[in-house]
Amino acid sequence: MIKRQYSGNERRARNYIWNAAGRYDFEPSFLAFSPDGSPDMYYNLVIGLAYKWLDMEAIQEFIKRYSASRSAEEFDDLFWLGLENCVYEKEIGERPVLEKLRREKAEAWFKSSADMSRQQMEMQSMTVYEQQMIRWSEVLGRFCHTGKRSLALAGRLLFSGSLDAEGAVGEMTGILLDFFRTDISRLKEGGERKGILSGLSLPGLPWKAPRQRLFLRTGDGRGDLDTNVRLGHTMNRRVSLPSGPDMDFVRAAFGEPSLPEREMTALEADCCRDLHAACRLHVTDGVRKEQGREAFGELSGILKRAADQEKANRRFVSDNALLIHESIRELSARLDLLFAEYFRRMPERGRSGSLIPEKAYRLKVFRDPSVFLPGRGADRKKRGGHPASGRFHVQNECAGDHSLRGVYHGREPGKDPYPGPGPDLSDDPGHYRSGETQEHSGEELRQDLPVFLRRLEPGRTCLSGAPVSA
Amino acid sequence: MAELTELLEKEGVDKGLLAGAAEFRKAYPADPDFADRIPEVSALYYGKTVWEEAVAVLLSGRNLLLAGPKATGKNLLCENLAALFGRPVWNVSFHIGTDAAGLIGTDTFDGEKVSFRKGPVCMSAEKGGFCILDEINMARNESLAVLHAALDHRRIIDVPGYDLIRVDRAARFIATMNYGYAGTRDLNEALSSRFAIITMPQITEENMLRLLRRNFPDISERIAGQFVKLFGELARKAEKSEISDRAVDMRGMLDALDLIRQGLSSGQALELTIVSKTFDRYEQTLIRDCIGSRIPADLDRSVVFAG
């Protein structure tokens, strides 16, 4: 009998899955590994239980439908989070150890996320991160404060144990529509992603299997596979100039330089920087000296080897087109995710609080009163959760704080709202008080809108004053 | 004996067959000199169909071959059958070096003269006992040829230079074999045709649960259920060749529970009695993974025996 050969960890992962599924007659499409490469026991059991309890063909068909989306990985992770609860509820009666394993999983998640650097966190979807935090907090009985939207999503991701595959797919379809404005029925069906690397690992979430990794290397290609996933040039310094024999060869092969050396040096200093720091320029009219013939023969050999290499490169690209295409797609998705997270992490807006100047126009143009930031003190309290997440959010808050500080103080024209000691502001077209907490409603602001719209000029922070129409 | 008959009646074993066994006991009372060779029932084999088939075969005067994988209860059934029929047992464990002398007997010098010292096959044949030929396919076929005449209709053992031994009417030969086991070989046709062969099924979950309850009456229902499921999962894994069947060990399961009762944690006990049955480190990992997804490693006796 011919049996497929698996690596040790892959075989362990498959065994977890087969064991949980109670059958060995299928090749799992998903495997779960921890970031250190060892199989993730709990999630592999979840995958196996999904095979046991749900129609995995329907699940895979659904996943395939959004697989072309750039957020496919994010959707995968959320979908598995939903399925986790579903199969947990189905199986817990038959396999009580799941409760303990689930708790261990939750503890391990918090431990790994506490050790995670800011850069690592930014490389993953914050939505997934938040949802995991909510799920595992709940498992451990910890209190986890987060935004209403996240809580609502977390509630929807608690797929009931009474659902079948069709029900789970229906739930996820609704979630994608309600929370991600993604109508699955309108998505162009993507290709089969099976066998393509999903990129960097999220701690303990299922990966596509079998995994492949496209290593982009520098140097001579003999580097260590484990460490050198690295793009770009290894050196940011100028390399030493070619030695005499090299220059002789270049001259002989391509012709004498047509620019004086001083100009060439200036030109190289201007062009050969950063990634091109190791490059040299050679400007020539193509006139070669007689002694170049011999060197030219050598050049022909080089050109032939280069042509062969080009062919080999093209063949490689052609043979690995799917892998390369998917890698580019994954990288693009990661970048999209990164940018999207910055937008998503913008503070929630409300109808009262501190005015967000750059959003003020929405009140006038779109009749959108949500141009205020709710009180930050309360906001910070709301974000409890894990210390790491707290630190992360505080860092973000600090990073974005400068533009948000301050409150708009509406007042009647010519009337100082702060009588008493201090500077007379009655002639001041407006003022901006750092750290004030006085709040105004959208309706109040609407009265004064023309004033501050006028004041919202580049570089200005004063937001109040006489009506424009005056 | 009455207790065993009652248990089998409860199991639903055909009453006619049980009555037949009772008549057999009455017709062939065991030699009191060998009464201590009649086994006591320490554990019961569960499986109505197999019981009925085995009792019918023995009542009809035929010999029995129990074939099946490890942990299917072959030896337990042998002992239970001997107890039911009230027969003394001679046990022969076969190995690659087993020869005719080891089975039939050998010449020995008693200080005055050379005499024949009977082996287990001769003894059981003469005394009307049950001769259990354990792992019969471990021995070379040629060394088993000496048994042919004893096992077929002739029912004789012709020892060269000695008397012809006739097999007692109450004597039976019960062989066990596990095909695919390391070191085993196929039984040749000449030998296998002299047995009625029962292919032993893997114990069912329900029967294993009853076995555990019988051995550990105070075991927690929930924990017993998980041990049963674990055994099934290991058996399935061995069946699919993901692991060898060394870990599919019923005795190991019972031993593990015994060690937990002695004070070890479930993880320690299962490590000693199940995981360590194989010496391949990677296979041990797979077995540990399987155990870990069923039985928490920190269960102690207060939890396991809380029933």
The pLDDT of residue A450 is: 46
Ranges B75-89, B171-185, B288-302: which has the least confidence = B171-185
Q: What is the spatial distance between Cα A41 and Cα A53, in angstroms, rounded to a whole number?
A: 18
Q: What is the pLDDT of residue A8?
A: 82
Alpha helices in B12-73 (DSSP H): 15-27, 48-59
For residue B221, list chain A residues with Cβ-Cβ distance below 8 A: none
Residues of chain A predicted below pLDDT 70 = 1-7, 118-119, 121-122, 188-245, 287-298, 341-348, 375-470
Does residue B67 sit in the same domain as residue B166? yes
Considering only CB atoms, A12 lies closest to which of B222, B241, B289, namely: B289
* Amino acid A351: pLDDT: 77
What is the domain-level CATH number for residue B19? 3.40.50.300
Q: Are residues B194 and B211 in the same domain?
A: no
Number of domains chain B contains: 2
Which 3 state secondary structure label does DSSP give B86?
coil
Domain closes at, from B140, B174, B199: B199
The pLDDT score that the predictor gives to residue B180 is 62
- CB of B86 closer than 8 Å to CB of B38: yes
Q: How confident is the model at residue B145 (pLDDT cuts 50, 70, 90)?
A: confident
C-alpha R_g of chain A: 31
Cβ contacts of A24 on chain B, cutoff 8 Å: 236, 240, 242
Instruction: State the angle between helix axes of B250-262 and B221-239 in degrees (0 to 180), rounded to the nearest 10.
Output: 140
Query: Does B233 contact A19 at a Cβ distance shorter than 8 Å?
Result: yes
pLDDT at B229: 96
- Of the candidate ranges A90-99, B90-99, B134-143, B199-208, the one whose mean pLDDT is the lowest: B134-143
Domain ranges of chain A: 8-208, 244-319, 352-455
pLDDT band for position B191 (50/70/90)?
confident
State whether B295 and A16 contact (CB < 8 Å): no
Choose among A12, A45, A101: nearest Cβ to B285: A12
**CB distance from A22 to chain B under 8 Å?**
yes
Q: What is the pLDDT of residues B3-17, one digit of tens each?
A: 889 889 988 999 999
Query: Is A26 within 8 Å of chain B by CB?
Result: no
List the single residue in B with minimal CA-CA distance to A1.
Answer: B241
Asked if the Cβ–Cβ distance from A97 to B237 is below 8 Å, we say: no
Q: What is the pLDDT of residue A294?
A: 59
CB of A92 less than 8 A from some CB of B: no
Please tell me whether residues B11 and B34 are part of one structural domain: yes
CB A146 within 8 A of CB A385: yes
Does residue B123 share a domain with residue B89? yes
- The predicted pLDDT at position A155 comes to 94
Quick one: B44 and B129 in the same domain?
yes
Which amino acid belongs to residue B280? D
Report the percentage of chain A scoring pLDDT > 70. 60
Name chain A contacts of B290, Cβ cutoff 8 Å.
15, 19
Reported pTM: 0.60
- Looking at the fold, whether B210 and B193 belong to one and the same domain comes out as no
Single residue among B199, B222, B241 that ends a domain in this structure? B199
The model's confidence at residue B144, banded by pLDDT at 50, 70 and 90, is confident
Q: What is the pLDDT of residue A191?
A: 46
Cβ(A445)–Cβ(A355) under 8 Å?
Answer: yes
* B250 & B166 share domain: no
Please give the interface size between A and B, counted as residue pairs whose CB atoms are below 8 Å apart. Answer: 47
What's the pLDDT tens digit per position in B64-106? 999 988 878 899 999 999 999 999 999 999 988 888 888 888 8
- The mean pLDDT value of chain B amounts to 90
Q: How far is it, in rounded angstroms, from Cα B245 to Cα B266?
A: 21
Which stretches of chain B sit within 8 Å of chain A by CB?
222, 226, 229, 233, 236-237, 240-242, 282, 285-286, 289-290, 292-296
Task: Give the pLDDT score at A332.
Answer: 82
CA-to-CA dists, residue B49 to B53, B68, B84, B200, B306, angstroms: 6, 15, 16, 10, 33
Residue B60 has pLDDT above 50, yes or no: yes
B289/A101 CB distance under 8 A:
no
Residue A41 in contact with partner chain B when CB distance is under 8 A = yes
User: Whole domain around residue B251: which residue ranges?
Assistant: 205-304
Of A11, A24, A100, the CB nearest to B240: A24
Identify whether residues B61 and B12 lie together within a single domain: yes
Mean pLDDT for B117-130 is: 93
Which of A162-176, B224-238, B240-254 is least confident?
A: B240-254
Which of B174, B199, B224 terminates a domain? The answer is: B199
Per-residue confidence (pLDDT) for residue A182, from 0 to 100: 85
Residues B226 and B185 both lie in one domain = no
Which chain A residues are within 8 Å of B296, Cβ to Cβ?
97, 100
Task: For chain B, say whether A148 makes contact (Cβ under 8 Å).
Answer: no
Does B214 share its domain with B92?
no
Residue with tokens 């949802």: A131
Put simply, the answer to whether B293 touches A16 (Cβ < 8 Å) is yes
Residue A20 has its nearest CB partner, among B241, B285, B293, at: B293
The 8 Å CB, 24+ separation contacts for B210-214 are: B210/B46, B211/B43, B211/B44, B211/B46, B211/B250, B212/B253, B212/B254, B212/B257, B214/B43, B214/B44
Position B164 pLDDT exceeds 60: yes
